[in-house]
């Protein structure tokens, strides 16, 4: 079974690996149900999806009549105005067949213009707060991608008392001094406030080198179990941090198996050797 940790201030003991619902964006319900069986087998008790993850909310919604009590349920709203976000949250609840979600997150809030709109007057944050007041969501989070997102999350945490943040972090990104410093600042703020920290892209190898993709991830992933073990164990070695699983149902068993065997964090020397051997590269271009 996979270790559980307190998910910030929510009172929920979540498995250290959270199921990333992007993996269900384009699968049949039969395939999704096989994923459910796998999650239950490993004891995963936290689902993270988004309104823009294709059919993911619909696939998870089919599980909810029987399994709502078994999972901490999170989704994301990507629209920026309060009016649009209210509609998006209601639509997500309909698709998820749920009367509430445990966590509603402002999705991919990394660009300054999006940030100004979503967190300003009449912005999506107002809809999230209303949803919490109305019992449609219990907690509020913020997510994002790219080299600037750790710095943007610091701004977000200064603007509002979010319950959770989500951002990319892996060994390659940690080697960039500016990103690492901003990530560690975010981690320090979140530990002080008991805010949950979720990391993504742990097993990213780099952008796809060709147009022919063999996985449903938008990045080229690591695929060998030993490499996945190193990447997953390195991420899980961050105290209190949660790891979102991979957006590919065929690789999901390897990530869960790795998480179930987590004992120690690999050394920097081990990770550097893998980085060189697998030629890991940035998903987001050059760091600025």
At 210 the pLDDT is: 74
CA distance 197 to 163: 9
Tens of pLDDT, residue by residue over 116-164, are 999 999 999 999 999 999 999 999 999 999 999 999 999 999 999 999 9
Tokens coding 221:
């992933």
CA distance 250 to 168: 21
Q: Directed axis angle between helix 82-96 and helix 124-133, to 10°?
A: 50
Task: Say if residues 109 and 143 touch (Cβ distance below 8 Å).
Answer: yes
For 219: left if phi > 0, alpha if psi spans -120 to 50, otherwise beta; the answer is beta
CA distance 202 to 219: 11
> What DSSP letter does each residue of 102-142 carry, written as one string?
EEEEETT--SHHHHHHHTSTTBHHHHHHHHHHTTSEEEEEE
Tens of pLDDT, residue by residue over 13-62, are 999 999 999 999 999 999 999 999 999 999 999 999 999 999 999 999 99
At 1 the pLDDT is: 84
CA distance 39 to 14: 13
pTM over 0.75: yes
3-state secondary structure 54-70: CCHHHHHHCCHHHHHHH
CA distance 116 to 114: 6
What are the domain boundaries of the chain?
4-278
At 25 the pLDDT is: 98
Helix and strand numbers, DSSP H then E, in the chain: 12, 12
DSSP conformational letter for 185? H
Tokens coding 36:
């459910």
Residue 100 has pLDDT above 80, yes or no: yes
Taking residues 192-208, report their average pLDDT: 97
CA distance 258 to 28: 26
Of all residues in the chain, the percent with pLDDT exceeding 90 is: 96
Question: Per CATH, the architecture of 4-278 is what?
Answer: Alpha-Beta Barrel (3.20)
Kindly give the pairing relationship between strand 13-15 and strand 4-6. Answer: antiparallel
Of all residues in the chain, the percent with pLDDT exceeding 70 is: 99
């Amino acid at each position: 079974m996979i270790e559980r940790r307190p998910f910030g201030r929510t009172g929920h003991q979540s498995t250290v690996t959270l199921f990333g619902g992007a993996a269900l964006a384009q699968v049949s319900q039969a395939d999704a149900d096989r994923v459910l069986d796998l999650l239950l087998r490993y004891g995963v008790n936290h689902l993270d999806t988004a309104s823009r993850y294709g059919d993911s909310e619909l696939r998870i919604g089919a599980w909810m009549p029987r399994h709502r009590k078994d999972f901490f349920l999170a989704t994301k709203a990507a629209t920026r105005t309060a009016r649009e976000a209210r509609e998006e949250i209601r639509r997500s609840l309909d698709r998820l067949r749920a009367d509430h979600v445990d966590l509603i997150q402002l999705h991919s809030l990394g660009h300054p213009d999006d940030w100004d709109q979503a967190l300003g007057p009449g912005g999506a944050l107002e809809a999230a707060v209303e949803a919490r007041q109305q019992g449609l969501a219990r907690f509020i989070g913020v997510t994002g991608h790219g080299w600037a997102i750790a710095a943007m999350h610091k701004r977000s945490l200064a603007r509002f008392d979010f319950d959770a943040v989500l951002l990319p972090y892996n060994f390659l990104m940690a080697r960039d001094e500016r990103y690492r410093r901003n990530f560690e600042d975010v981690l320090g703020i979140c530990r002080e406030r008991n805010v949950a920290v979720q990391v993504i892209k742990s097993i990213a190898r780099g952008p796809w080198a060709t147009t022919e993709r063999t996985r449903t991830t938008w990045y080229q992933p690591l695929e060998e179990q030993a490499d996945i073990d190193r990447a997953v164990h390195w991420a899980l070695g961050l105290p209190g941090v949660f790891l979102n699983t991979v957006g590919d149902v065929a690789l999901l068993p390897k990530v869960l198996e790795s998480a179930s065997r987590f004992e120690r964090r690999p050394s920097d020397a081990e990770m550097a050797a893998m980085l060189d051997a697998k030629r890991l590269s940035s998903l987001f271009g050059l760091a600025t």
